[in-house]
Chains A and B, each alone.
Chain A
Amino acid sequence: MLIERLAQMYVHWGSPGKTGEPTKRKRDQAVAAVHQFLDVIESTAEDRKALFTQSQQSRRKATKLAYLLLAGETEPTAIHDTFLRSGLLSEGQRSNKPEVLLWFAGTEAIARGIHPYIAFLIMSSYFGLETAETEFRWLQERAGASGVKLEEYIVPGDLTDSIEEALKEPARLQRTIRIAGMPLSASAFAGCSVYYIEKILALVGPIGALILTQMIQSARKNLVSDEIGTAQQAFLDLFTQEETESTTSEREAGAAEEAFFEEPKLPDPELIHTTTSLVMEADAKILKATLSSMSNGEITLLLRCLDAIAHERLLNLISPGRQKRVLAVIQKTENATSEQMLRDAQLFAQKLLAAYAPKNLKPGETLGIPEKLRGLISYLLSRE
C-alpha cells in the first residue's frame, strides 16, 4: 500500500520539517532552477561537458551536485549514497530538506533513464500540491507546443491489424496503455501508421502524448521488426486480458470477497522456470544495465518470479547498499497472484530487450541477442 511507501520515506529521510510557506521569491527561484534543469537535460542529452559546465555555474549546492553527478554518469545507487554523504541532509540543513530531496529525486530519475518530463513532475511535487498542479499545467503547454512529428513506418503485426477495432473502446485502450507502461506501449505503437498513432495519442494528455511520441521515435531507431512485432503481441495480449477481466469481474465479485482472507495462490512454476532461465542466460553487463533502469520495487517484484539461483545472480550485480534496500522492500511485499507475477516478468523481459538494443542500431539490422534468449523473451512476452 502507498501508506507503506510514505512510512519508508519518513523512516529514511525523517520528517520533512516545517515546509511551511517559503517566501514567494525563494519558491520562484527554486521553481526556475527546476525549469532550467529540464531545459539543460533536454538540450544537452548526454553531453557530459555541458552538464559539467552547468554544475560550475550553479550557485546552490544541491543543484551543483545534481549536474556534477549526471556529468559523471553516476549510477542511481551511488547518487543516493552521495546525497546522503554530502551533508546537505544533515541536521544543520533541515530547513532545506524538501529542496535537497527534490534535486536528489530528479538526479536519480534522470540517471535511471526516466523521461525528463516525468522527472520534472517528480521534482515539482516536492513544492506541494498547489505548485505541483501549476507546474503540471505549464508542462502541458510546453508539451503541446513542442510540435514533434512522426514519419510513416509500418510493421505488419497483430496490433496493426486490429488497432481500428481497439480504438472503438477508448476507455479500455487508455487502461491498457497505463498498465503496459509507456515503453512497452510505444514499442508496440512504433509499427502502426501515423494515422492510427495520432488517434491513440489523442487518448492521453499532451505530456503523455509527447513522451509516447519520443519513445516511439526511439523504438523505431533501436528495435527491429521482430522486437516491435513481439511488443505488439504483448500489448494486444494485455488489451485482450482487460476485456476478459471486465466481462468476468461481476461473476467473480463474490469469489473475490471470499478470497479476502484466503491464502494466496501458488506461483506458476513454468513462469518461474522461464524467468529464471532468462536471468541466467542474459549477459552480465546487459543484465546490470537492465537492473540500473529498474527501481528497487521493480527488482523486488522480479525476485518473486525467480528461483533462488537467479536471486543470487541478480543480487550480485547490484551494490551492497541497494541489496539491503531491495531486501528491505521484500519483507513488506505482499504475495502476488500469478497474473501479477506474469506482468512483472513481462516488464523485466521488455526492459532486458531494450537494454540489448544499441543506440545506433539502424532499422532492418538484427539485434545481437543469443537465439535461446530471444526465444525465452518471445515466449514470456506472448504468454497470457
Chain B
Amino acid sequence: MRPFGDAPLFFDTVVCAILYTMIYWNADLAAKIRCTRQEMETLPPYIDHLLEVSKTIRTMGIRPTADQFASEKDAFLRYGLLLVSEGMAGELLEEILSVLLYVSDLKGIEFLRQCVTAEAILSIANGEDEDTLLRKLLPYCGIDEALTAMTKRKSEHAD
C-alpha cells in the first residue's frame, strides 16, 4: 500500500501548499489532510464565504447574544466565532483552535476545511484585513491556485 495514495498528486497539491512550509513534518498529519485536486477545488468558494463573514464582522461587529451564529451550519466556524464574541484572540485562541484540530476525527477535505476555518477565525479575531486573511487562506488551496488567485486580484486592481 502506498503511504500517500496518489503520491505525485498529493505532493503537487497539499505538500507544496502547506507542509512544505513546515519545519515540523509529521506523516500522521500529512495522511490526515490528504485530499485530491478535485476535492481541493471546493475550497475557493468556501474561502469566499469566510471572507464575507470576516467583512461582516469587521463592519458590523458581533452582537454577543445567546442565539448569535445559531444559523451558522458549520459547527467549527460557529464555535470559533462564539469564542471571538467573548473577546478571545491571539495566542490563547490559537491554542484552543489547534487543540480542536488535533483531536478532530475528520480526515481529508473535511479536515482541511476545518484547518482553513480555524485560520480564518484567528485572523478575524486578530483584526486582520481582507488581504492578510486571503494570503493566509489561499495557500491551503495549493500553490498553483494561490498564485492564480493573487495574479487575478492584482490584475483586477490594476484595471
Which A residues are closer than 8 A to B by beta carbons?
Answer: 1-11, 13-16, 19-20, 98, 105, 114, 118, 121-122, 125-130, 132-133, 136, 140, 170-172, 174-179, 181-182, 185, 202-208, 211-212, 242, 245-246, 249, 253-254, 256-258, 260, 295, 297-298, 328, 331-332
B10-32 vs A, Cβ < 8 Å mask (1 yes, 0 no): 00000000110111111011000
Q: Which residues of B contact A297 (CB under 8 A)?
A: 91
Distance (whole angstroms) from the CB of A40 to the closest CB of chain B: 21
Among B1-9, B42-50, B55-63, the one that faces the other chain is B55-63
Instruction: Report yes or no: B119 in contact with A178, Cβ–Cβ below 8 A.
Output: no
A-B pairs with beta carbons under 8 Å apart, 15 shown: A2-B94, A3-B119, A5-B98, A6-B115, A11-B26, A98-B103, A129-B75, A129-B100, A172-B61, A181-B89, A203-B64, A246-B58, A246-B129, A258-B154, A332-B22
Instruction: Report yes or no: A122 in contact with B96, Cβ–Cβ below 8 A.
Output: yes
Distance (whole angstroms) from the CB of A5 to the closest CB of chain B: 5
Alpha-carbon distance A292/B122, docked complex (angstroms)? 24
Distance (whole angstroms) from the CB of B92 to the closest CB of chain A: 6
Q: Which residues of B contact A130 (CB under 8 A)?
A: 75
Count residues of B near A (Cβ-Cβ below 8 Å): 66
Instruction: Report yes or no: A125 in contact with B75, Cβ–Cβ below 8 A.
Output: no
Distance (whole angstroms) from the CB of A216 to the closest CB of chain B: 13
A6 and B83 in contact, given A11-B26, A178-B126, A253-B131 (Cβ under 8 angstroms)? no
A2 and B75 in contact, given A128-B104, A205-B85 (Cβ under 8 angstroms)? no
Q: Which residues of B contact A328 (CB under 8 A)?
A: 23
Distance (whole angstroms) from the CB of A355 to the closest CB of chain B: 18
Instruction: Report yes or no: B86 in contact with A205, Cβ–Cβ below 8 A.
Output: yes
A2 and B23 in contact, given A128-B105, A257-B150 (Cβ under 8 angstroms)? no
Instruction: Report yes or no: A7 in contact with B22, Cβ–Cβ below 8 A.
Output: yes
CB < 8 Å neighbour of B25 from A1, A7, A133: A7
Q: Is the interface of B mostly helix, strand, loop or mixed?
A: helix
Q: Which residues of B contact A5 (CB under 8 A)?
A: 94, 98
Alpha-carbon distance A331/B22, docked complex (angstroms)? 10
Instruction: Report yes or no: A298 in contact with B91, Cβ–Cβ below 8 A.
Output: yes
CB < 8 Å neighbour of B76 from A14, A16, A127, A129: A129
Instruction: Report yes or no: B87 in contact with A212, Cβ–Cβ below 8 A.
Output: yes
Alpha-carbon distance A2/B126, docked complex (angstroms)? 13
CB of B82 within 8 Å of the partner chain: yes
Instruction: Report yes or no: B136 in contact with A1, Cβ–Cβ below 8 A.
Output: yes
CB of B157 within 8 Å of the partner chain: yes
Alpha-carbon distance A4/B97, docked complex (angstroms)? 12
Q: Which residues of A contact B95 (CB under 8 A)?
A: 105, 122
Alpha-carbon distance A380/B85, docked complex (angstroms)? 29
Distance (whole angstroms) from the CB of A285 to the closest CB of chain B: 24
Instruction: Report yes or no: A242 in contact with B127, Cβ–Cβ below 8 A.
Output: yes
Instruction: Report yes or no: B82 in contact with A205, Cβ–Cβ below 8 A.
Output: yes
CB of B101 within 8 Å of the partner chain: yes
CB of B88 within 8 Å of the partner chain: yes
Q: Which residues of A contact B75 (CB under 8 A)?
A: 129-130, 133
Q: Which residues of B contact A15 (CB under 8 A)?
A: 28
Alpha-carbon distance A2/B19, docked complex (angstroms)? 12
A6 and B154 in contact, given A125-B96, A133-B82 (Cβ under 8 angstroms)? no
Alpha-carbon distance A203/B64, docked complex (angstroms)? 7
Alpha-carbon distance A158/B16, docked complex (angstroms)? 49
Instruction: Report yes or no: A128 in contact with B100, Cβ–Cβ below 8 A.
Output: yes
Alpha-carbon distance A1/B33, docked complex (angstroms)? 15
Instruction: Report yes or no: B100 in contact with A114, Cβ–Cβ below 8 A.
Output: no
A-B pairs with the 10 shortest C-beta distances?
A: A171-B61, A208-B87, A208-B86, A10-B26, A178-B89, A205-B64, A15-B28, A204-B87, A125-B99, A11-B24
Instruction: Report yes or no: B24 in contact with A4, Cβ–Cβ below 8 A.
Output: yes
Distance (whole angstroms) from the CB of A75 to the closest CB of chain B: 18
Alpha-carbon distance A3/B29, docked complex (angstroms)? 10
Instruction: Report yes or no: B119 in contact with A125, Cβ–Cβ below 8 A.
Output: no
Q: Which residues of B contact A129 (CB under 8 A)?
A: 75-76, 79, 100, 104
Most buried by B among A4, A15, A174: A174
CB < 8 Å neighbour of A175 from B91, B92, B127: B127
Q: Which residues of A contact B40 (CB under 8 A)?
A: none
Q: Which residues of B contact A19 (CB under 8 A)?
A: 103, 105
Q: Which residues of B contact A10 (CB under 8 A)?
A: 24, 26, 28-29, 102
Q: Which residues of A contact B57 (CB under 8 A)?
A: 171
Q: Which residues of A contact B126 (CB under 8 A)?
A: 178-179
Q: Which residues of B contact A6 (CB under 8 A)?
A: 29, 98, 101-102, 115
Instruction: Report yes or no: B157 in contact with A2, Cβ–Cβ below 8 A.
Output: no
